[in-house]
Amino acid sequence: MWRDRKTSAMSLLMINLAVVDTLILFIWTSQTAIPAFCNYFKGCQLYNRIKPAFSVYGWPFATTFQLMGTWSIVSITFSRFVSVCWPSRASHLNNRRQVLIRTLVLHVACIVFSSLRFAEAHIVYDDKGNMLIRKTALAASEIFRYVYTLALYYFITYLLPLSLLIYFTVRLSTNLKEMNKKRQEMTKKAKERSDLTLSLVIVVVIFIFCQLFNPIRRVFFVMYCPITLRCGTPRFYFISWAVIFVNLNSACNFFIFCLCSPGFRRQLKQIIAKRGQIEPLGLSMTVNN
């Protein structure tokens, strides 16, 4: 998609989604996969020493990236919704400049909203120089806990985006059914657009399913003490599966587009074929000389 970023708004949105998904996978790997391996193999003394710093500074980044990922899905779905359901407004709402501005505004808003997460905890050192996590006065406030952490966070991260996605997806699915009735009469380009819409609908459906577990997981952390969330308890396994689904959601988008979009598949094959080409020895020597 990189070569079309200056001419295609959809390519710009796809690149943005790929970057955000990669950031989400990277931060979740550092926060969950590495500690899990360390606990299993009973090693990683260095990591265990700096683990509190990863928790204090890593989790706010994870929250920020996840929020950016959620609204990136909303942005790309809205763009497709405009193209399919509001074609008369597509030239205004879906031009490259508008899409770029919309993406930047959403990312800045996500960063501003998540900035309070960085003020929830800080690092202190005991007499032996070990790192300890301490909550700040802001995090200890009941108003912050219930207004920001629960009410506002759930509204901005789950309720509002999921409501928009459900509305957009229902409208796109209805339009897709009507288009499929006339598929034999459609041009090749129109079929590719229809396949792109189908791919996006599947991405959104999987996103909604995977995100349903995370809000319940966060409620468990608020309602129950850490002892009841230890390994062996049903809540522990539910929380683990919630984390798996968050990662699965970010990891599967590429494969969905590969399976459901022939146009995307064709471009991928062209890239692989180009990378696999070997230059003739004579041509290579001529270029070097």
pLDDT digits (tens, 9 = 90+) for 27-83: 888 877 777 787 777 767 777 777 788 788 888 888 899 899 999 999 999 998 898
pTM of the model: 0.79
Which of the two residues, 285 and 60, has the higher pLDDT score?
Answer: 60
Average pLDDT over residues 180-201: 72
CB 176 within 8 A of CB 194: yes
Residue 280 is predicted with a pLDDT of 45
Report the alpha-carbon distance of residue 47 to residue 58 in Å, rounded.
Answer: 13
| Least confident window among 19-33, 98-112, 257-271 | 257-271
121-128: long-range contacts, CB 8 A cutoff, minimum separation 24: 121/55, 121/56, 122/56, 123/52, 123/53, 123/56
Helix (H) / strand (E) element for 154: namely helix 153-154
Report the alpha-carbon distance of residue 24 to residue 9 in Å, rounded.
Answer: 23
Residue 54 carries which DSSP code? H
pLDDT-derived band at 289, boundaries 50, 70, 90: very low
Report the alpha-carbon distance of residue 65 to residue 54 in Å, rounded.
Answer: 15
pLDDT digits (tens, 9 = 90+) for 121-142: 888 888 777 788 888 888 888 8
Neighbouring CB atoms inside 10 A of 44's CB total: 16
CB 229 within 8 A of CB 220: yes
Is 225 in a helix, a strand, or coil?
coil
Residue 271 CA, distance from chain mean position: 24
Q: Is 5 a residue whose pLDDT tops 70?
A: no
Residue 199 is predicted with a pLDDT of 81
